[in-house]
Amino acid sequence: MKVTHLGGPTALVEVAGWRILTDPTFDPPGRRYTFGWGTASRKVAGPALPATDLGDIDVVLLSHDHHADNLDDAGRAVLPSAGAVVTTKSGARRLGAENVRGLLPWASTVLEAPGKPSLNVTATPCRHGPPLSRPIVGDVVGFALTWEGGPDGQFWMTGDTVLYPEVRAVPERIDVDTMLLHLGAVQFGITGPLRYSMTGEEGIRLIELAQPRIAVPVHFEGWSHFHEPQDHLRATFDAASDDVRSRVRWLEPGVPTDLA
């Protein structure tokens, strides 16, 4: 498995001949984006590589389509050329394209391509905010992947979520080999102390539960609504147990990294 972190939640994952892009965000920095209900954020850093440098994409794993820090305009332009886009049920209705598949949590789809092993994609639960926030923040999912000849455990992209019981229970249902861990402690001034994604401390607790071989932090830089940047997160993880520290892999943006 090779992973290239491109910035924010966006990563290129290459496994068994599949080229998988997560939450495409390729707009340049500077623009302010509104997220609804008075919330907004400014993009403060661009991608490590432009979308045009990536080549063909077989699959886009889109945790949700309605927030620009997970799908911005340049990222949206990538979707039509992808072999398949897997996202939420509501997102699939909004996108309305033939190559888009929508999943509810714990539903699965199988992707096929010539010369590649079948790729099984299962949506995992997320709650992108405090209790009772789903009607406001919308549907979000993570993804668990398996393929013939792959590791014993699964690749798990957590998606944008806080740490709540349904996410804590994911490791009870799947064995995790590699985790793409969405962090950032997202907050907005208008909603005060309420958070919409995991903190580093919560990420540590999830690693302790899931026991992945490797955990790759993403979704913590590049936008003004992220409140735990990399230096803060590194200090948090450096203070964790030896077991947790041994599992965390920080990726240099734009550099393909072999996680085998």
Question: Please, what are the domains in the chain?
Answer: 2-249 (3.60.15.10)
The answer on pLDDT for 58 being more than 80 is yes
Q: Give 86's contacts (C-beta < 8 A, 6+ positions apart).
A: 59, 60, 61, 62, 100, 101, 102, 103, 109, 111, 121, 123, 143
Residue type, position 130, single letter: P
Q: What is the pLDDT of residue 135?
A: 83
Q: How would residue 136 be classed by pLDDT, with cut points 50, 70 and 90? A: confident
pLDDT at 168: 98
Ramachandran region, residue 124 (left: φ > 0; alpha: ψ -120 to 50; beta: rest): beta
| Number of CB atoms found within 10 A of residue 218's CB | 23
How far is it, in rounded angstroms, from Cα 62 to Cα 70? 8
CA distance to 126, 150, 178, per residue, from 57 (Å): 25, 20, 20
CB 95 within 8 A of CB 65: yes
77-114 tens-digit pLDDT:
999 999 999 999 999 999 999 999 999 999 999 999 99
> Which pTM was predicted?
0.96
Q: Which residues contact 146 (CB under 8 A, 6 or more apart)?
A: 119, 120, 154, 155
Tell me the β-bridge partners of 180: 157, 216
Q: Which stretch of 82-86, 193-197, 204-208, 253-257 has the lowest confidence by average pLDDT? A: 193-197
In the chain, pLDDT over 90 holds for what percent of residues?
92
Place 51 in a pLDDT band, splitting at 50, 70 and 90.
very high
pLDDT at position 37 is 78
> What pLDDT score was predicted for residue 152?
87
pLDDT of residue 189: 87
Other beta carbons less than 10 A from residue 208's beta carbon: 14
Average pLDDT, the chain: 96
Provide the pLDDT for residue 35: 87
Write down the pLDDT at residue 109: 98
At 43 the pLDDT is: 96
**Residue 133 or residue 64, greater confidence:** 64
- How far apart CA 86 and CA 74 sit, in angstroms, is 18
pLDDT grade, residue 73 (50/70/90)?
very high
Residue 132 has a pLDDT of 81
* Interatomic CA distance for residues 237 and 136, integer angstroms: 31
Residue % of the chain over a pLDDT of 70: 100
pLDDT at 137: 87
Q: Where does residue 215 fall: left (phi above 0), alpha (psi -120 to 50 degrees), or beta otherwise?
A: beta
For residue 46, name the pLDDT band (cuts at 50, 70, 90): very high
